[in-house]
Amino acid sequence: MHPAFSILFFTTLAGAAQGLVVALALAVLFGLGLAPGFLALALGVAEVLLAAGLAASFMHLGRKSRAWRAVLMWRTSWMSREVIVLPAFIALVALWWLSLRFGAGAPWSWLLPVLVLCGAVALWYCTAMIYACLRFIEEWAHPLTIVNFTLIGLSSGLVLACAMAVLSGETRFVQLFGPWALAATLAAWAARGGALRRNAAIRHKSTLQSATGIRAEKLVQKSMGMSAGSFNTREFFHGATLAALRNMKLGFLLLAFVLPSLLLLWGVASGAAWPWLLAVLVQAPGLLAERWFFFAQAKHPQNLYYQVVS
């Protein structure tokens, strides 16, 4: 598949915002006693990330003014469900921020964090199911897709939360959530590594023979029926060389998982601030590279029909 930057930015930005909000909600529910200023600032950052993600997702649409129609088919379409859950999640985070600002009391102070937690989980599930439900894109059609979207979002959100806590002097938060940020990053590394191993071993069900029904052992395409490209050649091929693909894989493993893990370990052990900040900076391009690779690695069966331009 051709990785679309609109989706790369949307899924990474929203994923980090979800992880950040989950960390804040858990901290509040466990009675960590965060400074109101820090909580409001962190929720504000989450909202900015979500808004940027929403804007990026709009860039993916050919007819942006009709975007509202995408809520209609929630009974059958995971994309429709995501389109409903995303604004609902943004609204819940905004409500929580407002309730803090106006000092809302008892039920809201625990109900809103719980609701926000549920919203984050639901959004991860919907976003990942958009890809995992396409049964013939075999690289995606697996529960690991959901695990990876969730764990990578958690990792990036927790790293960001700890970095902001370090800057705001919330040492208790960093002491408690620092090890969890490390654990989430290691878990995300393990799960993404598992998906990479699984995808490397896939033997695709569709072949040129099953695609055309021509039962010859040796079968080659001589013409795809056009002398230049089409939507089918632009949308479903990444166009990168094998070497670029390999480098991207190495790059995202290093930037999204290995280096952040080392930096977090350093941060947890030393209590210094800069490893956390550095981890955010290092992980951000790694997350984009990971999502780029997620799309590029997926081999769509339609590509069997589009192998020879002539």
Closest separation in Å from C-beta 239 to other proteins:
14
Could you tell me the CA-to-CA distances from 199 to 45, 115, 124, 190, 202 in Å, in that order?
A: 35, 35, 21, 14, 5
Closest separation in Å from C-beta 56 to other proteins:
13
Closest separation in Å from C-beta 228 to other proteins:
4
94 vs 141 by CB, closer to other proteins: 141
200 vs 222 by CB, closer to other proteins: 222
107 vs 135 by CB, closer to other proteins: 135
d(CA 252, CA 145): 16
Closest separation in Å from C-beta 212 to other proteins:
6
The secondary structure of 240-275 as a DSSP string is --HHHHHHHHHHHIIIIIIHHHHHHHHHHHH--SHH
Write out the two tokens for 26: 């858990």
- 3-class state of residue 156 by DSSP: helix
The secondary structure of 186-212 as a DSSP string is HHHHHHHHHHHHHHHT---S--HHHHH
98 vs 208 by CB, closer to other proteins: 208
Closest separation in Å from C-beta 210 to other proteins:
5
63 vs 241 by CB, closer to other proteins: 63
d(CA 268, CA 273): 10
d(CA 178, CA 32): 14
Instruction: Give the interface with other proteins as residue ranges (CB under 8 A).
Output: 1, 60-64, 66-67, 69-73, 76-80, 83, 130, 133-137, 205-206, 208, 210-232, 235-236, 300-303, 305-306
